[in-house]
Amino acid sequence: MQAGPENIAPSTEPTPSSESAAPSPLVAALQREHSESISEVINAFGETTIVVPREHIVEACSFLKTSPETRFDFLADICGADRGPEEEPRFEINYHLFSTTKYHRIRLKVLLNEEDVHVPSVTGVWRTANWHERETFDLFGVIFDGHPDLRRILLPDDWQGHALRKDFPLRGYEPYSLK
Amino acid sequence: MSSIANIPPQFEIVDRPLDTQMTISMGPQHPSTHGVLRLELVLDGEMVVKATPDIGYLHTGMEKLFEYKKYQQGIVITDRMDYLNPLGNNLAYVMAGEKLLGLEIPERAQTIRVLMCELQRIASHLVWLGTHALDIGAMTVFFYCFREREKIMNLIEAASGGRLTPSYFRIGGLMMDLPAGFENRCKQFLNDFPRAVEEFHKLLTGNKIFQRRTQGIGRISAEDAIDWGLSGPCLRGSGVNLDIRRANPYSSYDQYDFEVPTEPDGDVWARYMVRMREMKESHKISVQALGRLKPGPVKADAPKVVLPDREAMKRHMDALIHHFLIVAEGFDVPAGEVYFPIEASKGELGVYMKSDGGAKPNRVHFRGPSFVNLSVLPVMAEGEMVADIVAIIGSLDIVLGEIDR
């Protein structure tokens, strides 16, 4: 038996204690200016994830976009994830930021409970967030407050439910008919 | 709007002035929308006041399907997203999985991946060029492009067995090594290709009609392009020197010598020139990759993830057991999440993969470059003529399979 995945994969357990000892410069910059917008830092697989309380997501994003150290001027992606109906917090919103001048990347993560799926929109920071947030709204039912045009984008306007939630069956509830 | 009145509206004759705006629906069956894209155009005469893309006609729930398939079964789904660049999709997906597993890929497999991806990029650009020229009215180019593309398709078919859906890359390496004689056929193609590019230039670049249909149309500035998340040739057409192969190198792209072509103007013509120059750069990379091919393994040394060789399976018990387990149960991937970006033919293709430790992913998300590039269309189209919308869509090089997923 040779090294299987369990032997060669790096540890996935977040170790906040060791991270706080030597935070990456990107995290340090945010920590200095907006320490309230960091609730956890996870380093795994060579990627840095900052868990941001949702009320601070817009200020964290605009700081990371404009600060000369970080310069995250490019929002690569926003995608949701569902941890499952029994999990709490249930939903994750992942923001993948990229800098077109410094070439570094970071992930911001907002955790949401099922009863209150509201998160402030970042369309005011990057205009490209528009379609990403519409897609996340369409497939997960997350409401982006302040979005200029929050409509379904991939599924029809009269679609029932949100297709990428874990409790939505793969084949849907019933055959969809175009009435 | 909200209350549909039961009383029928009063009949009245509206005396419309001549400058009234008109809303028309372009697509989803319009041939120049490259698939099933519908645009809601508000027109003032022939001028576009507002263009609103309406997508989702091709939505098949692929991201949902990933959650029900084992990791290796997901590869065939990725083929069907951007069907002009399936090997790029394969690469982003398998490299995200390899990042989670922490696999080291042998050098030969990496070189073959680079070679095949660059051939695929040329093929993708050839389809773009042919259809873009066809949209604008130059029909001949289409046939020349598809003649060259056919040669690449034959090469991809020789390597993988599939033309449009190769599924050639696997988590941990390649499906199989290149067939005998591939290198010679590839060399032959690469020898002839620069002449074909010259032909395309002769057919199109000097054409006055083509120039006037494309220059100054659909402009976007570099700041706007970054803010709107444009990537790939569309972003480089606005003068931003950004290529993921350079910025975040993967699959040993940092060892290749190539240029990143940029054009400053940000119009349809600039995006055309960037792609034309990119084909030459891809050709350059392919030649280097072909020169670097050395014999060696094409699969990582990870028997629990990579299917064993056929011969080993017949002789060794443990290989047979591994084969059975991988096929029947799949392999467990450590819990965690990664985002893996690559430079696909249309821009940044990012795969977000989240595992909870089992044999099936918890979430797979594709950041399709076409999806983001299309969202910029309203900005580019505003104030242009309705006939130029066709040129702008062509210059964005969208594939609806990737947008709707």
- Percent residues over pLDDT 70 in chain B: 95
Q: What residues in B contact A73, CB-CB < 8 Å?
A: 226-227
Rounded to an integer, the average pLDDT of B350-372 is 91
- CATH fold, domain B62-404, is Cytochrome-c3 Hydrogenase; chain B (1.10.645)
State which residue of chain B sits closest to A84, comparing Cα positions.
Answer: B362
Question: What's the gap in Å between the CA of B10 and the closest CA on chain A?
Answer: 28
Q: What is the pLDDT of residues A62-106, one digit of tens each?
A: 888 888 888 899 999 999 999 888 888 899 999 999 998 888 899
Distance, in Å, from the CA atom of B367 to the CA atom of A31, rounded to the nearest integer, reads 29
Q: What pLDDT score was predicted for residue A22?
A: 53
Distance, in Å, from the CA atom of B393 to the CA atom of B341, rounded to the nearest integer, reads 24
Per-residue pLDDT band at A31 (split at 50, 70, 90):
confident
What DSSP string describes chain A? ----HHHHSPP-S--HHHHHHS--HHHHHHHHH-GGG-SEEEEETTEEEEE--GGGHHHHHHHHHH-TTT---EEEEEEEEE--TTSSS-EEEEEEEE-TTT--EEEEEEEE-SS--EEE--TTT-TTHHHHHHHHHHHH--EEET-TT---SSS-TT--S-TTSTTS-TT-SS-----
* CATH class of the domain whose range is A16-145: alpha beta
Q: What residues in A contact B302, CB-CB < 8 Å?
A: 2-5, 8
CB B75 within 8 A of CB B392: no
Is any Cβ of chain A less than 8 angstroms from the Cβ of B242?
Answer: yes
CB B308 within 8 A of CB B327: no
Biggest distance spanned by C-alpha atoms of chain A: 60
Is any Cβ of chain B less than 8 angstroms from the Cβ of A178?
Answer: no
- Residues 37-66 on A with a CB inside 8 Å of B are 44-47, 49
Cα–Cα distances (Å) from B48 to B52, B118, B218, B383, B386, in that order, read 11, 37, 12, 5, 6
Q: Where are the domains of chain A?
A: 16-145
- Compute the 3-state secondary structure of chain B and give helix, strand, coil in percent, each to the nearest 5: 50, 10, 40
Q: What pLDDT score was predicted for residue B24?
A: 86
Q: Where are the domains of chain B?
A: 62-404
Count of residues for chain A? Answer: 179
- Percent residues over pLDDT 90 in chain A: 28
Nearest CB partner across the interface for B336, out of A12, A75, A166: A12
Rounded to an integer, the average pLDDT of B88-98 is 92
Lookup: tokens for B312: 């080993």
What DSSP string describes B66-109? HTTS-GGGHHHHHHTTSTTSHHHHHHHHHHHHHHHHTPPPPHHH
Is any Cβ of chain A less than 8 angstroms from the Cβ of B226?
Answer: yes
Distance, in Å, from the CA atom of B93 to the CA atom of B148, rounded to the nearest integer, reads 28
Q: Is B398 helix (H, G, I), strand (E, B) or coil?
A: coil
Q: Which residue has the tokens 């299917």?
A: B307
Q: What pLDDT score was predicted for residue B9?
A: 66
- State yes or no: pLDDT of A17 exceeds 90: no
- Residues 111-130 on A with a CB inside 8 Å of B are 126-128, 130
Q: What residues in B contact A155, CB-CB < 8 Å?
A: 56, 59
Is any Cβ of chain A less than 8 angstroms from the Cβ of B332?
Answer: yes
- State yes or no: pLDDT of B393 exceeds 70: yes
Which site among A1, A62, A74, A173 would you substitute to test the B interface, given the most B Cβ atoms closer than 10 Å to its Cβ? Answer: A74
Q: What is the pLDDT of residues B173-194, one digit of tens each?
A: 898 889 998 999 999 999 999 9
B299 DSSP 8-state letter: B
